[in-house]
Amino acid sequence: MILLSDPRVAAVSSRDDGEPLVDLREVPGLRVDGRAADPAGAYARVRRGVADRLLAAQRALPAGLRLLVVEGYRPYRAQLDIFTGYRDELRRRHPDWPADRLHRETTKFVSPVEVAPHSTGGAVDLTLCDADGVELDMGTALDATPEESADACFTAARHIPVSAWRNRNVLVAALSGAGMVNYPTEWWHWSYGDRYWALMTGVSHTRYGPL
């Protein structure tokens, strides 16, 4: 399992092709949930190439299922606050952890700001819902931490209900088929064009840099 703390991620050359952000609330056919909404509406924005791939993934879903996007672009400050908040929580829970382990465990849930996929506009947190917007059981809540879920938030976790495991496989098949990459400790996190995507797909540089 390659984490965002892996030096190979930071070593990927960062470039930006200038592709604009689009507001998913204005994209017909995609559902956007407001639980992560911010006053500026950043949460609903992603790069155009990501929006195209979400639409392709949705077309690949079984009849009656839809993607439900929760968060896209995340500004630097917001990313830093989430990272330091979770790191400090882990430090309180595990005062015996050395600094390197603390950093590694933190990055299982939130990316260091230097390589954060969300801050490029190339990442989304999402889940599945039915035609009425009712969310499917995915085994854990979206944004469940490894600590609170006993690692059940890991995409390949098997200590979840069979129905949830099948739902995850549906999500994986649709998004992988559309060219997106999953962060393996978070079943809900998918990206395209960022450093993690580049490393996992063997591309020499990013399409999207930090915004």
Rounded Cα distance between 79 and 84, Å, is 9
Three-state secondary-structure class, residue 85: helix
Residues marked active site are found at 186
β-bridge pairing 65-71 and 31-32: parallel
Q: 38-56 b/e with 16+ CB inside 10 Å = b? A: eeeebbbbbbebbbbbbbe
Show binding-site residues. Answer: 118, 125, 189
Three-state secondary-structure class, residue 191: strand
Instruction: From 126, 117, 97, select the one nearest 33 (Cα to Cα).
Output: 126
Rounded Cα distance between 155 and 207, Å, is 25
Tens-binned pLDDT, residue by residue, of the chain (211 aa): 999 999 999 999 999 999 999 999 999 989 999 999 999 999 999 999 999 999 999 999 999 999 999 999 999 888 788 888 888 998 999 999 999 999 888 888 878 888 899 999 999 999 999 999 999 999 999 999 999 999 999 999 999 999 999 999 999 999 999 999 999 999 999 999 999 999 999 999 999 999 9
Show binding-site residues for Zn(2+). Answer: 118, 125, 189
Domains of the chain, residue spans: 37-74+120-201
Q: What is the pLDDT of residue 167?
A: 98
Provide the whole-model pTM: 0.92
Give me the CATH code for the 37-74+120-201 domain, please. 3.30.1380.10
Q: 116-125 b/e with 16+ CB inside 10 Å = b? A: bbbbbbbbbb
